[in-house]
Amino acid sequence: MKTVSEIKELRAQVKSWHQQGLKVAFVPTMGNLHAGHISLVAEAQKHADKVVTSIFVNPMQFGANEDIGSYPRTMVADQQKLTSAGADLLFTPTADIIYPKGLDKQSYVEVPNVSEGYCGESRPGHFRGVATVVCKLFNLVQPDVACFGLKDYQQVQVIQTMVEDLSMPIDIIAVATVREASGLALSSRNGYLTEEELKIAPALAQNIQWLAEQLQTDTDFIGLAKKATNFIDNAGLTTDYIHICHARTLQPASEDDHKLVILAAAHCGKARLIDNLQVFLSK
């Protein structure tokens, strides 16, 4: 695997592959890689001849009181994992390369509707930062396909909507969440959890699963979400939100909807956990 940090080097390599008629897939990350990230690389390899990954801790998507300074950076270990996974190129830009004018003077991308509410409400400006950096990385890499994990379900919808609205010739592939045996969704932020917190953190996933089962026979969406919130809080977590939504628009679910998604977030110690589950009703 080749590692580059300069835009010129990145573009030269991708241009060479395209000139050879090779298809290029892209997996953007913020590093501190785990099995979930590696599953994205494996999926990307099914759809393309070459796989480009990136590691960039994007300052635009962090709020004033969030953890960018303490966000784990494990470049050497990440490079080893990507090499073992068979990635072809790793792009590791600095903030000065991505935002040469600084954040205050940087043009940005705003994706309405799907960016609002849920994590968009809890983390103001987060999805503006996500959409902007992904749009910029897409312009730099020029991939044919790009893979994103469904653990960040709202993020996937934001990126899919951006690609559609801006007519980008990129296929977005959503990849299933990788979980611990306990059901806890893999996340770089799980590293913040203590041994005791790791025992209670799976309550988020467990109660989403319970909620999904209830939805097959009960359409009291608000009442069920309140019950799930109580269960999660009683387990020792602090619920940020739990909502039942239309799977594509992310608007509150109605009784006529058949494809739903449960979106949830909760705090467990220093970690903010997010999770989701798609639900298909047979009615």
pLDDT of residue 211: 96
37 catalytic? Reply is yes
pLDDT of residue 153: 98
Percent share of the chain, pLDDT over 70 = 100
Averaged pLDDT, 143-161:
98
pLDDT at 33 over 90: yes
How do residues 233-272 score in pLDDT, each as one tens digit? 999 999 999 999 999 999 999 988 999 999 999 999 999 9
Fill in the amino acid letter for 149: G
pLDDT of residue 66: 78
How do residues 131-147 score in pLDDT, each as one tens digit? 999 999 999 999 999 99
Averaged pLDDT, 111-129:
94
Q: Mean pLDDT across the chain, nearest whole number?
A: 96
How do residues 69-88 score in pLDDT, each as one tens digit? 888 899 999 999 999 999 99
Question: Which position among 18, 37, 243, 246 bears the catalytic label?
Answer: 37
Averaged pLDDT, 204-210:
97
pLDDT of residue 164: 98
pLDDT of residue 283: 62
SS3 sequence of the chain = CEEECCHHHHHHHHHHHHHCCCCEEEEEECCCCCHHHHHHHHHHHHHCCEEEEEECCCHHHCCCCCCCCCCCCCHHHHHHHHHHHCCCEEECCCHHHHCCCCHHHCCCCCCCCCCCCCHHHHCCCHHHHHHHHHHHHHHHHCCCEEEEEHHHHHHHHHHHHHHHHCCCCCEEEEECCCECCCCCECCHHHHHCCHHHHHHCCHHHHHHHHHHHHHCCCCCHHHHHHHHHHHHHHCCCEEEEEEEEECCCCCECCCCCCEEEEEEEEEECCEEEEEEEEEECCC
Residue (of 187, 208, 201, 190) closest to 277 by Cα position: 208
